C-alpha cells in the first residue's frame, strides 16, 4: 500500500473505534490483520485504568514482551500509540 | 504498580448442585503459603466504573477461612496405557508396528509406541527422533541403543512403521514406508543395524501409545502429535510382508500367528477404553482424550459416518496439549444446606494480590421451589469457550474487534501455560481444531470480573461475565428466579424444567445437546414461555460424554461461522455417534425455537433498535407500555454502547420463524465490522458489511405458541449490557420488566 494521507491518521486519532472512512478502513485492515509475530497487544495492569504496550512473539507460550514502561490511562491513548508505531513500520513515517 | 502473574487457581468437580448434595473444590497455589476461602453468590461481575459495579453476596459456610496452600500440577498430553503382562515380559524376538500420521515431525523426540519402565528407563520405544525420522530405542537400564532411519517423515502423511528385533542375530530392523510417493522426496527406508542391548521388559512394563513413561514430575514425556492406526505387537521378527499382512483391520486365520496384541481403536470409540483383538486381551484406557472417530490410513472417502465403516476409523489422534481432568486433590468441600436459595455461586479464594473464583449453580430443591421463572446458566457455552486463546493465536482477532487486544492476568497465564488446555475456538499446537473441552481444570475465563477481547468497546465482557448483567437485572427487578445449568437440562431433560413456566436465557446460549434442545421444545409444547435474552442462540450441536463427567464435544462440521473446520469424514461426534455441526444444517434452525437466528457479527461498537410496524399491534401493547413510539431502544449500554451488538439474529420464515411472529424492533446503523455470517453466503458478493448490507440487523420478536405460551427474543448478545443504564430506569429494562411480568401471568396467550 502506498503511503496514505496523514489526514487519515487524524481521523483515527479523533475516533479510533466506530464508523471509519473507507480509506482509513483499508489502513486498519493492514494494521490489525498482521500475523502474530510482533503483534501489539495491551497488557492490563489495572482493570479499566492502566495498560501498557506489549508485543507477542508469535510462538505459543512465550511471555508477552513489555515494549516500554509507559502506562496508558485510556485505551484511546494506547490505540493511538499502536497506530503510530504501525504507521512507522508500514510507511516509514513518524506521526506527530 | 504492575500486576504480577497468576498465583492461585482452582476448579470444582461439579457445575451444579442441589441442597443436600456436596461439591468438591480443588485449589492450587503456585507457591507454598496460606490462602483464604469464602462462599459468595455472584450477582454482577462487571467492574466498569460506568456501570453499577461489582456485586456479590457473602454466604457463611464451613470452608470459610484460611487454608494451607500447595502446588498441584497439571499434566497435559493425550496418550493411552495398557498394563504390563507376562506375554510382554516373555518376548525375545518381537515386532512393534503401527501406521502413523505425524503432524509435528521434527518438533522434538516423540514416542509412538513404548514398552517402557519409567523408573529404570528400560524397555523399547518406537518413535520419531528430533529430526522427525523413525527411530527405535532399546534399553536394559544400564545401556541404551538408538537406531534411526535418518529420513524425516512428511507431516500429515501416512506411513507404515515397524521395529523388528531379532535377539539371536542381535539386530534391529526399522521399516518406514510411505503410503504416498512423490518425485524427489526420499522418505522410505528399511535399515538393519546390530545392537548389543536387549530391552528389559517385565510383566509390569506398560505399553503406552503417544508418549513415554517418565519418572520425572510429569508421568509421560516425549508426547506425540499425530495419529496412530492399528498398532500390533508380534512375538517374532516378522518380515515386511508379515508386517503388512497384520495391518488388516480384523485379524483372521494365520494372521493371528505370533500376535501378542493387535489393538483396534475403532472398538469403543465412545469410551475411554482401548481394545485388543489379540488372544491376550491387552485392553487399556486413554488419558487426556485422544481424538477418536478420526480417519484411519484406509479411509476411502466413500463413507462419512464412522458407525457405518468402523474399520476405517481405527486411528486415534494424539496431542501434546490436550487435557481432560487435571486430577487435583480436593482442598475443601461444601454440602449445600437445605433451604439455600438457588443461584449462581462461587468459591472465592485469595492469595496475596491474586484471587480465583470457582463458579457453580445451586439448583432449587426439587418440589420445594415457589419460583416460576428459571434462568438457564449456559455451562455448555462456558465449556466451549473454556481457556480460549484467540487474541494470542489468531491473527484475525484484532480485525474482528477493530481494537488492540487487551490481555489481563488470566489471559497471559493461559497463553504461557498451554498445559491448562484450550477451548473449542482454538487449534492444538499441530493445527487441528480442538473438538473436546473439559471443565475439570481451572477455566480462567469463566470468572466474574474477567474481561475478554471479544466483548466490544466498554466493559469488554463476553459470555460468563457478560451474563451477570442479566443475573443482576433479575436480582434488581425482584422477580423470583431459580437457576439451572445446561448439564441439569441435559441430564434430566424437561423434568428439570417442570416447576417453571418461564425460561430466561443468557447473552449467548449457543451450544445445545439434543437432550437440552428437546427439553426446551417440550417445555414450549406444554405452554411454557421462553425469553431468549441473547444473540447467536441454539446454534451448535454438542455431545456430552456418557461416562466421563464434565467433558463435551463439538465437531465444527460442514458450514457456519467456525474457528476451525472439522476434517471431511469426521463430522460425527465420537461420544454419541450423532452428526455434529450447526442445528441449522440439521433442519432445526434457531428460528424454530425462538423466532430468530444468527445473521451478522462484529465486535467493535453496538447500536440501537427502532420500533417496527408490528410493535403497534395490540398483541404487543403490553411489551411497550411506558415506551414512546419513536424512542430509540437501547442507544446506551455497557457492551459497545448499545443494546444491539456483537452477534445479532434475524427472522427468516424459510428457516422456521413462525408465521404469527411480530417483528417488534430492528437494529440499524451497524459499522462495517459487522459482517453477514458465512452460512448466509453462497456466492461471495461485495457489500456484506453493516453500512451497506440490509441483512445486518437484529430483530426483536414476539410470538404466541399454539399451547398458550409465548416467546420473546432480543436477538443480540449486547442486549444485557443496557439493562442497568440510568439506574435500571431505561426502555430496555422497562421492556424486559413488561415481558417478564406478563410471561409470569398464567393467563394463556392467544
Ligand atoms: Fe459464540
Q: What is the CATH number of the domain that holds B312?
A: 2.60.120.200
Cα distances (angstroms) measured from residue A58 to each of A35, B105, B224, B466: 8, 20, 22, 29
pLDDT at B636 over 90: yes
Distance to chain A for B414, nearest Cα, Å? 8
Nearest chain A alpha carbon to B53: A48
Among B288, B318, B348, the domain-final residue is B318
Distance CA A49, CA A85 (A): 22
Asked whether B432 and B103 are in contact (CB, 8 A), the reply is yes
pLDDT of residue B342: 98
Over the stretch B135-157, which tens digit does the pLDDT of each residue have? Answer: 999 999 999 999 999 999 999 99
User: All 3 cell numbers of residue B414?
Assistant: 493461559
* B449 shares a domain with B519: yes
- Burial class from Cβ neighbours inside 10 Å (0-12, 13-18, 19+) for residue B300 reads exposed
* B406 shares a domain with B286: no
Strand partners, B644: B607
Among B287, B302, B318, the domain-final residue is B318
Distance to chain B for A13, nearest Cα, Å? 13
* B296 shares a domain with B440: no
- Report the mean per-residue pLDDT for chain B: 97
Note whether residue B22 is domain-resident: no
Over the stretch B403-429, which tens digit does the pLDDT of each residue have? Answer: 999 999 999 999 999 999 999 999 999
pLDDT at B3 over 60: no
Cβ pair B395:A35 closer than 8 A: yes
Distance CA B205, CA B208 (A): 9
pLDDT at B1 over 50: no
Cβ pair B407:A64 closer than 8 A: yes
* B273 shares a domain with B147: yes
Ligand 1 ion local residues (Cβ < 5 A): B 510
Beta-carbon contacts of B663 under 8 Å, excluding residues fewer than 6 positions away, are B612, B614, B651, B699, B700, B701
Centre of ligand 1 from the C-alpha of residue B350, in Å = 30
Count up the domains in chain B and report the number. Answer: 2
Among B279, B294, B318, the domain-final residue is B318
ipTM attached to this prediction? 0.98
pLDDT at B216 over 90: no
Write out the H or E segment, with its range, that includes residue B515: helix B514-525
Nearest chain A alpha carbon to B398: A32
* B415 shares a domain with B546: yes
Confidence band of B365 (pLDDT split at 50, 70, 90): confident
Handedness of CA B703, B591, B511, B465 (dihedral sign): negative
pLDDT of residue B217: 84
Distance CA B197, CA B211 (A): 22
Cβ pair A79:B403 closer than 8 A: yes
Query: If we measure between CA atoms, which residue out of B419, B423, B435 comes closest to residue B393?
Result: B423
Query: If we measure between CA atoms, which residue out of B747, B705, B711 comes closest to residue B530?
Result: B711
* B220 shares a domain with B91: yes
Cβ pair B418:A60 closer than 8 A: yes
Centre of ligand 1 from the C-alpha of residue B562, in Å = 10
Distance to chain A for B714, nearest Cα, Å? 23
Q: What are phi and psi of B705, to 5 degrees?
A: -105, 160
**Measured CA angle at B319 (ends B316, B320), to 5 deg:** 145
Cβ pair B395:A28 closer than 8 A: no
Range of the domain at B284: 79-318
Q: What's the whole-number mean pLDDT along residues A22-29?
A: 97
- Select from B47, B405, B449 the Cβ nearest to the Cβ of A41: B405
Beta-carbon contacts of B197 under 8 Å, excluding residues fewer than 6 positions away, are B138, B139, B140, B143, B144, B145
**Chain A interface includes B686 (CB < 8 A):** no
- Three-state secondary structure string covering chain A: CCCCCCHHHHHHHHCCCCCCCHHHHHHHHHHHCCCCCCCEEEEEEECCCEEEEEECCCCCCCCCEECCCCCECCHHHHHHHHHHHHHHHHHCCCCC
Cβ pair B672:A33 closer than 8 A: no
Q: What's the whole-number mean pLDDT along residues B96-121?
A: 98
Confidence band of B615 (pLDDT split at 50, 70, 90): very high
Over the stretch B553-607, which tens digit does the pLDDT of each residue have? Answer: 999 999 999 999 999 999 999 999 999 999 999 999 999 999 999 999 999 999 9
User: All 3 cell numbers of residue B52?
Assistant: 453499577
- Full-prediction pTM beyond 0.90? yes
Task: Return the higher-pLDDT residue of B4 and B7.
Answer: B7
**Chain A interface includes B108 (CB < 8 A):** no
Distance to chain B for A58, nearest Cα, Å? 8
Distance CA B476, CA B680 (A): 38
Amino acid at each position: 500500500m502506498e503511503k496514505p494521507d496523514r489526514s487519515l491518521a487524524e481521523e483515527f486519532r479523533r475516533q479510533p473505534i466506530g464508523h471509519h472512512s473507507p480509506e482509513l478502513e483499508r489502513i486498519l485492515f493492514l494494521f490489525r490483520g498482521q500475523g502474530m509475530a510482533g503483534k501489539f497487544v495491551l497488557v492490563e495492569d489495572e482493570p479499566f485504568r492502566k495498560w501498557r504496550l506489549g508485543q507477542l512473539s508469535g510462538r505459543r507460550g512465550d511471555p508477552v514482551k513489555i515494549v516500554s514502561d509507559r502506562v496508558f490511562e485510556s485505551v484511546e491513548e494506547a490505540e493511538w500509540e499502536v497506530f503510530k508505531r504501525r504507521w512507522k513500520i508500514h510507511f516509514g513515517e513518524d506521526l506527530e | 504498580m504492575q500486576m504480577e502473574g497468576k498465583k492461585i487457581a482452582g476448579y470444582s468437580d461439579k457445575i451444579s448442585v442441589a441442597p443436600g448434595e456436596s461439591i468438591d473444590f480443588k485449589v492450587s497455589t503456585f507457591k507454598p503459603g496460606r490462602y483464604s476461602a469464602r462462599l459468595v453468590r455472584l450477582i454482577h461481575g462487571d467492574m466498569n466504573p460506568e456501570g453499577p459495579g461489582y456485586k456479590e453476596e457473602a454466604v457463611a459456610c464451613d470452608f470459610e477461612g484460611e487454608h494451607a496452600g500447595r502446588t498441584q500440577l497439571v499434566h497435559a498430553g493425550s496418550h493411552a496405557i495398557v498394563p504390563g503382562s507376562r506375554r510382554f515380559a516373555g518376548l525375545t524376538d518381537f515386532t512393534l508396528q503401527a501406521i502413523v500420521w505425524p503432524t509435528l515431525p521434527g518438533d522434538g523426540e516423540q514416542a509412538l509406541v513404548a514398552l517402557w519402565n519409567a523408573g529404570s528407563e528400560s524397555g523399547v520405544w518406537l518413535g520419531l527422533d528430533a529430526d522427525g525420522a523413525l527411530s527405535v530405542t532399546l534399553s536394559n537400564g544400564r545401556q541404551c541403543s538408538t537406531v534411526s532411519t535418518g529420513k524425516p517423515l512428511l507431516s500429515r502423511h501416512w506411513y507404515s512403521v515397524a521395529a523388528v528385533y531379532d535377539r539371536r542375530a542381535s539386530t534391529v530392523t526399522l521399516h518406514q514406508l510411505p503410503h504416498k510417493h512423490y518425485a524427489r522426496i526420499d522418505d522410505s527406508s528399511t535399515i538393519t543395524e546390530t545392537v548389543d542391548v536387549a530391552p528389559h521388559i517385565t510383566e509390569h512394563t506398560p505399553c503406552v501409545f503417544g508418549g513415554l513413561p517418565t519418572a520425572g514430575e510429569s508421568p509421560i514425556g516425549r508426547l506425540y502429535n499425530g495419529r496412530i492406526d492399528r498398532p500390533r505387537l508380534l512375538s517374532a521378527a516378522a518380515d515386511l510382508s508379515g508386517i503388512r499382512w497384520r495391518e488388516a483391520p480384523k485379524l483372521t486365520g494365520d494372521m493371528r500367528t505370533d500376535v501378542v496384541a493387535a489393538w483396534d481403536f475403532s472398538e469403543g470409540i465412545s469410551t475411554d477404553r482401548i481394545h485388543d483383538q489379540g488372544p491376550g486381551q491387552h485392553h487399556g484406557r486413554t488419558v487426556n482424550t485422544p481424538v477418536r472417530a478420526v480417519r484411519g490410513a484406509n479411509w476411502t472417502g466413500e463413507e462419512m459416518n464412522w458407525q457405518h465403516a468402523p474399520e476405517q476409523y481405527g486411528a486415534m489422534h494424539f496431542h501434546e496439549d490436550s487435557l481432560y481432568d487435571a486430577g487435583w486433590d480436593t482442598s475443601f468441600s461444601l454440602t449445600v444446606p437445605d433451604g439455600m436459595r438457588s443461584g449462581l455461586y462461587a468459591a472465592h479464594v485469595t492469595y496475596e494480590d491474586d484471587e480465583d473464583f470457582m463458579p457453580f449453580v445451586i439448583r432449587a430443591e426439587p418440589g420445594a421451589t415457589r419460583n416460576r421463572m428459571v434462568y438457564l446458566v449456559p455451562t455448555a457455552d462456558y465449556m466451549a469457550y473454556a481457556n480460549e486463546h484467540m487474541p494470542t493465536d489468531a491473527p484475525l482477532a484484532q480485525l474482528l474487534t477493530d481494537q488492540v487486544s487487551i490481555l489481563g492476568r488470566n489471559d497471559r497465564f493461559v497463553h504461557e501455560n498451554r498445559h491448562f488446555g484450550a477451548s473449542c475456538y482454538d487449534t492444538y499446537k499441530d493445527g487441528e481444531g480442538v473438538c473436546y473441552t473439559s471443565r475439570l481444570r481451572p477455566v480462567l475465563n469463566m470468572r466474574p470480573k474477567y474481561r475478554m477481547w471479544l466483548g466490544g468497546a466498554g466493559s469488554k465482557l463476553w459470555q460468563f461475565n457478560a451474563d451477570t448483567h442479566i443475573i443482576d437485572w433479575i436480582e434488581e427487578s425482584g422477580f423470583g428466579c431459580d437457576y439451572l445449568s445446561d448439564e441439569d437440562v441435559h441430564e434430566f431433560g424437561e423434568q428439570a424444567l417442570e416447576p417453571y413456566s418461564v425460561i430466561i436465557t443468557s447473552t449467548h446460549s449457543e451450544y445445545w445437546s439434543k437432550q437440552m434442545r428437546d427439553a426446551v421444545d417440550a417445555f414450549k409444547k406444554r405452554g411454557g414461555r421462553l425469553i431468549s435474552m441473547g444473540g447467536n442462540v441454539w446454534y451448535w450441536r454438542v455431545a456430552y460424554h456418557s461416562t466421563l463427567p464434565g467433558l463435551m464435544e463439538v465437531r465444527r462440521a460442514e458450514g457456519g461461522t467456525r474457528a476451525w473446520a472439522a476434517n471431511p469424514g469426521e463430522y460425527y461426534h465420537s461420544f454419541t455417534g450423532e452428526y455434529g455441526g450447526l442445528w441449522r444444517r440439521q433442519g432445526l434452525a434457531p428460528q424454530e425455537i425462538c423466532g430468530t437466528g444468527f445473521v451478522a457479527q462484529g465486535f467493535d461498537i453496538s447500536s440501537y433498535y427502532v420500533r417496527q410496524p408490528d410493535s403497534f399491534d395490540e398483541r404487543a401493547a403490553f411489551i411497550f407500555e411506558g415506551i414512546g413510539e419513536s424512542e430509540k431502544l437501547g442507544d446506551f449500554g455497557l457492551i459497545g454502547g448499545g443494546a444491539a451488538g456483537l452477534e445479532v439474529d434475524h427472522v427468516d420464515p424459510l428457516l422456521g420463524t413462525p408465521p404469527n411472529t411480530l417483528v417488534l424492533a430492528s437494529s440499524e446503523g451497524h459499522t462495517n465490522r459487522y459482517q453477514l455470517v458465512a452460512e448466509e453466503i453462497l456466492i461471495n458478493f461485495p457489500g456484506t458489511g453493516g453500512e451497506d448490507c440490509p441483512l445486518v440487523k437484529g430483530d426483536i420478536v414476539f410470538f404466541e405458541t399454539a399451547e398458550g405460551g409465548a416467546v420473546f427474543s432480543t436477538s443480540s448478545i449486547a442486549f444485557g449490557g443496557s439493562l442497568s443504564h440510568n439506574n435500571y430506569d431505561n426502555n430496555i429494562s422497562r421492556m424486559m420488566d413488561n415481558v417478564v411480568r406478563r410471561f409470569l401471568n398464567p393467563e394463556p396467550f392467544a
